[in-house]
Structure 1
Amino acid sequence: MPSTPPPEGRVRSAEELNAAIRALWTDGRGHPAVQLTAEQRAEYEQLCIELRQVERGDVTTAA
């Protein structure tokens, strides 16, 4: 199940992003070694980008 992006201006925490990443790898398949679909891979890459931004402090919340 694809994760939905946060509402405009909301920044997900590293914990939320890590949970979404883990869910991609284990969702319904029970084993993290299973290959992701192209759609899941794109979502994974976007989550990783978002996580790196949060970890570096590159994001700001909307006023």
Structure 2
Amino acid sequence: MHMEHMVGGVLSSIIYTCEIAGTKPFEYLVALQIYKDQIVKEPKAWLPWNYKAAKALFESSLAA
């Protein structure tokens, strides 16, 4: 299988998972890029169905 097919499959899976979770796929993919350092530390917190809470928590810790 060619790499571009694998990447397309992964992206399709993420987009579909976002749709099922009621998350906007584009916003989620952008958040993955912006918060990549936090995602490495706590990946489960950044899954499509709960990343907004992790994002809010991280942003509130910056404001404090």
TM-score (norm 2): 0.30
Q: Which structure has the higher relative contact order (CA within 8 Å, separation 6+)?
A: 1
* The structure with more helix, counted as a fraction of residues: 2
Instruction: Work out which of the two has the higher radius of gyration on C-alpha atoms and give 1 or 2.
Output: 2
